[in-house]
């Protein structure tokens, strides 16, 4: 038994049962280290290069990832949909989702695997707000407000709904019908998982900010987020309202 086999089997999730999906856009300088870190714990890593122009795909490939390339930038949601489809084709049981910009520490992967074993939950969500040191205060406030709103619609408390670091079982992934093309995809995954009746368990992780450029467009992405949440809120209200006489 190798050292890697020992680490993964201790969690009850063999490494070849887990696939990592990493959407990436212009993350050269970061994505290579992320891929190498993830490969210490996960048997297969897929990077979706979403139209990068800085060599992101080449760097990820050199670090050992399988790379799928979008010829033009289509958004995180589109990249996530592409990556999840490849994961389905691979037959993997668990899907690890994380960002390519170094804000998610691969060394914390065992926390997700252990939480899956200990709780039997099929959705494990990273929680940076348990110890938000280093997170800009504006981001901290926005995340808390957004998490409260999404939690209300999901019908269960979710501490950090904007965190893209998460672990999903195949049963959850197979039930997803994602339509979001941009950053609101992270919220749509949670809304659909909760609507399907899945319990979502939070996993405390570090908040890491090292000056990476952000591709979020605050106002347009906020509007997309609010439209998405309102749409699912409206659906939930209709499903739970008593029938008319």
pLDDT interval class at 205 (50, 70, 90): very high
Count of domains forming the chain = 1
Whole-number pLDDT of residue 211: 63
**Which of 67-76, 98-107, 125-134, 229-238 is predicted least confidently?**
229-238
Residue 72 resides in a domain = yes
Residue 81 resides in a domain = yes
Residue 228 resides in a domain = no
Identify the domain containing residue 115 by its residue range: 3-137+163-170+200-219
Q: Is the pLDDT of residue 244 over 90?
A: no
Residue 49 resides in a domain = yes
What are the angstrom distances between the C-alpha of 60 and each of 64, 73, 122?
Answer: 7, 17, 28
Residue 80 resides in a domain = yes
Please list, in sequence order, all residues whose beta carbon lies within 8 angstroms of the beta carbon of residue 137, skipping any fewer than 6 positions away: none
Count H helices and E strands in the chain, helices first: 9, 7
Instruction: Record the pTM.
Output: 0.83
Q: Cα(115)–Cα(107) distance, rounded to whole angstroms?
A: 15
Q: Cα(120)–Cα(172) distance, rounded to whole angstroms?
A: 13
Q: Cα(70)–Cα(74) distance, rounded to whole angstroms?
A: 8
Residue 19 resides in a domain = yes
Helix (H) or strand (E) holding 88: helix 76-90
Whole-number pLDDT of residue 182: 81
Domain CATH number, residue 40: 3.90.550.10
Residue 67 resides in a domain = yes
Q: How is residue 141 written in tokens?
A: 């406030």
Q: Cα(136)–Cα(105) distance, rounded to whole angstroms?
A: 18
The 10 Å CB-count burial string (b at 16+, else e) for 113-127 is: bbbbeeeebbbbbbb
48-88, pLDDT tens digit by residue? 999 999 999 999 999 999 999 999 999 999 999 999 999 99
Residue 226 resides in a domain = no
């Amino acid at each position: 038994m190798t050292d890697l086999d020992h680490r993964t089997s201790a969690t009850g999730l063999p490494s070849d049962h887990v696939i990592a999906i990493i959407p990436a856009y212009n993350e050269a300088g970061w994505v290579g280290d992320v891929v190498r870190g993830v490969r210490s714990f996960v048997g297969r890593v897929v990077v979706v290069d979403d139209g990068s122009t800085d060599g992101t795909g080449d760097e990820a490939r050199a670090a050992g990832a399988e790379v799928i390339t979008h010829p033009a930038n289509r958004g995180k949601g589109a990249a996530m949909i592409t990556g999840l489809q490849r994961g389905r084709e691979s037959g993997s049981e668990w899907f690890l989702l994380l960002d390519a910009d170094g804000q998610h520490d691969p060394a914390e992967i065992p926390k997700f695997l252990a939480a899956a074993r200990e709780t039997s939950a099929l959705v494990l969500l990273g929680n940076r707000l348990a110890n938000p040191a280093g997170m800009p205060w504006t981001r901290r406030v926005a995340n808390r407000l957004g998490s409260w709103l999404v939690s209300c619609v999901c019908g269960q408390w979710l501490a950090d709904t904007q965190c893209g670091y998460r672990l999903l079982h195949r049963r959850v992934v197979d039930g997803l019908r994602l339509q979001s093309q941009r950053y609101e995809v992270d919220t749509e995954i949670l809304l659909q998982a909760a609507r399907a009746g899945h319990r979502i368990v939070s996993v405390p992780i570090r908040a890491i900010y090292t000056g990476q450029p952000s591709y979020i467009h605050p106002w347009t992405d906020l509007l997309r987020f609010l439209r998405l949440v309102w749409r699912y809120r409206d659906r939930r209200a209709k499903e739970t309202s008593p029938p008319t006489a």
